[in-house]
Amino acid sequence: MPNDHITSNIRGNRIQSGLLIFGMACVVALIGYVLGGPLGFGLAIATCLAMAFLSPRVSPQLVLKMYKAQEIPRSSSPELIDLFAQLVQRAELPVSPKLYYIPSRTLNAFAVGSQRDSAVAITDGLLRILNPREVAGVLAHEVSHIRHKDMRVLGIADGVSRITGGLSQMGQLMLFLAVPSAMMNGGYMLLLVAILLISAPMINNLMQLALSRAREFNADLGAVALTGDAGGLASALTKLERATSGGGFPWIFAGRKTQTTPAMLRTHPPTDERVRRIIAAGESFLADQSVLPQLQHTPRPRQRLAPHDQNRVRKGPRWHVAGLWY
């Protein structure tokens, strides 16, 4: 069970997430008011509320198919399935997600779907370089994303950002058409409106990135609570930071430290900050509090998961028209 420190941090991250989404909605409402007065304000608020309740849900199977993922049968890797089942049981999810294997050397793990229909996928490359304790930390992180409904929260934020972008473009077009008459009557208010319309998408994008970083911290703390072991996840993040620091491909689980990308423009927090928080959160856990099984070897599924993919593990990611690496 989570200790007081972890519970307090998770609560703080949730409050931060709520404030960020509220801030994004306020930006949309402000643009709506500028473009349409009280009616535009009301429509903008109504659209944000509809987005919160009717946010589009991408089918987990569609995403997994794009990555050519295969469900891992228990006969292929019983240790890995047992470990995952124990984490799911501790998370008290209403429906148990399925675990998938991606035959790729890319270092990647992700969760998709909602609490009622979800899945976790992990690549061959990740299972090759992590030891069982580190694999447990990574899987717990992804299970925590499902437990905290992060995919839904980030989906709402993405929808609000898209609404902001659409209203901004429409407003800029209206502004362009109104320039001749506005210039004859003084253009100070027009200038303020132009600044708002141009800057609003950028402001919401920055808040969306901050929201993503907050949810990553939340999932890290949730993973420590599920495993009772801060060292496993911290070690995995450190190892993956070293493994990806010299490569050219992004990895969505650990934030990659670069000299050219400011922290505020990253979807993931810097790895050293994540490790610091993980270790601080896990200090009150004792070694014997971990409920993870003592695995004898890295639980990488056997190659024969599907006949057409046998012995065809890809060495790296490929580009897809949707911008996905798999």
Mean pLDDT for each consecutive 10-residue tract of the chain (326 residues)? Answer: 61 80 90 89 87 71 88 87 91 92 90 89 90 92 92 85 88 76 62 85 90 89 88 91 63 45 70 89 57 52 41 51 42
Q: Please pick, among 71, 92, 134, 142, the residue that the annotation labels catalytic.
A: 142
Which DSSP state fits 304? T
Do residues 120 and 326 touch, judged by C-beta distance below 8 A?
no
> What pLDDT score was predicted for residue 258?
45
71 in active site: no
Q: What's residue 54's pLDDT? A: 67
Q: Name the nearest CA neighbour of 76 among 235, 304, 272, 307.
A: 304
Nearest to 125 by CA among 135, 112, 111, 136: 135
Cβ contacts of residue 96 below 8 Å, gap of 6+?
85, 88
